[in-house]
Amino acid sequence: MAFNFFRLAAIFRGIKGRGIRSTAANAQAKECAEAFPELARLALQASRGELG
């Protein structure tokens, strides 16, 4: 589960970067990428076994 959270966080980080550079395929890329910090936090918690 931790791997999947890290994977999603990495994908969202890439989307955020493309949004900042204005090369994203989707006009809402910046808004979607705002989930990056939460996904990264969940990934860290999952890797530590802190999620239920």
Tell me how far apart the alpha carbons of residues 40 and 13 are, in angstroms, rounded to a whole number: 10
CA 23 and chain centroid, separation: 18
* pTM to 2 decimal places: 0.65
pLDDT digits (tens, 9 = 90+) for 4-50: 888 888 888 888 888 888 888 887 887 777 888 888 888 889 889 99
Tell me what pLDDT residue 41 has.
Answer: 87
Tell me what pLDDT residue 16 has.
Answer: 84
Residue 29 and residue 16 in contact, taking contact as beta carbons nearer than 8 Å? yes
